[in-house]
């Protein structure tokens, strides 16, 4: 158990985090109530931080179907508490004008798409370790830890690619992108709706270091016990 790799981007409160949809950096404040000061460096007897964080847009997080539906299913209900089988792959995207896959809104010429054929190539004849799938996009640079995805749009998956993952039985999908959908898809979140027909969780905004090679292993998704559609998360991958 000491051989695991942390695939999360930390929520930093004093340095830059990734940003999506103009999200603000996570913020911490310390309360003052009468004579009580909630910060030791300001003369208090203990630290009592209050944290404000945009779960979906400023760091690694895991979400469930309540992200897109009015549902009583929360992330602490469906996020697995045990180790689950997992496969890590690395994929490249292609320009939309070279893509034959379907998507629920029209492609634009600068769109970068991860296609069904990309996934077939990486996952052919692979079924054993697919409770969860971890996808690293190439090129893989440390800038992903602080990237402004409004300024530099990320690749996204075609509808056909997501359907293929469901055909393989993937229940937990983890990506180093801010979303499995195009940022501006008119609010439809089409890939989310497709995946959550059978899938359980999607984890986004990971960072997967190059030293971790593609292959099989086991995964633990650590989250706080929050009854929300999503929570900050810390996926730990244990290669075999």
Q: Which fold has domain 61-239?
A: Glucose Oxidase; domain 1 (3.50.30)
Share of the chain above pLDDT 70, in %: 100
Q: What is the pTM of this model?
A: 0.96
pLDDT tens, 92-116? 999 999 999 999 999 998 999 999 9
Our CA dihedral for 174, 175, 176, 179, rounded to 10 degrees, sits at -120
| Two structure tokens written together for 123 | 């996952």
Instruction: Give the pLDDT of residue 12.
Output: 82
Q: Categorize the per-residue pLDDT at 124 as very low, low, confident or very high, splitting at 50, 70 and 90.
A: confident
Instruction: Give the pLDDT of residue 128.
Output: 85
Nearest by Cα to 73 from 233, 231, 227: 227
Furthest CA-CA distance within the chain: 66
pLDDT tens, 11-65? 888 788 999 999 999 999 999 999 999 999 999 999 999 999 999 999 999 999 9
Q: Are 161 and 118 in contact (CB under 8 A)?
A: yes
CA distance 122 to 152: 26
Q: Are 193 and 64 in contact (CB under 8 A)?
A: no
């Amino acid at each position: 158990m000491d051989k695991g790799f942390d695939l999360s981007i930390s929520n930093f409160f004093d340095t830059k985090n990734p940003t999506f949809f103009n999200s603000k950096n996570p913020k911490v404040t310390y309360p003052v109530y009468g004579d009580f000061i909630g910060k030791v460096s300001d003369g208090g007897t203990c630290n009592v931080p209050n944290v404000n964080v945009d779960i979906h847009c400023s760091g690694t997080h895991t979400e469930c179907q309540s992200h897109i539906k009015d549902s009583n299913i929360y992330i602490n209900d469906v996020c697995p508490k045990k180790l689950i089988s997992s496969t890590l792959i690395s994929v490249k995207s292609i320009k939309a004008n070279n893509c034959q896959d379907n998507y629920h809104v029209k492609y634009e010429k600068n769109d970068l798409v991860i296609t069904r054929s990309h996934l077939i190539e990486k996952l052919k004849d692979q079924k054993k370790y697919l409770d969860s799938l971890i996808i690293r996009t190439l090129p893989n640079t440390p800038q992903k830890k602080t990237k402004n995805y409004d300024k530099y749009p990320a690749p996204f998956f075609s509808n056909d690619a997501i359907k293929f993952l469901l055909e393989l039985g993937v229940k937990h999908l983890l990506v180093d992108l801010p979303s499995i959908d195009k940022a501006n898809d008119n609010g439809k979140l089409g890939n989310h709706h497709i995946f959550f027909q059978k899938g359980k969780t999607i984890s986004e905004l990971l960072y997967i270091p190059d030293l971790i090679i593609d292959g099989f292993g086991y995964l633990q998704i650590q989250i706080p016990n929050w009854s929300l559609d999503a929570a900050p998360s810390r996926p730990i991958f244990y290669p075999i």
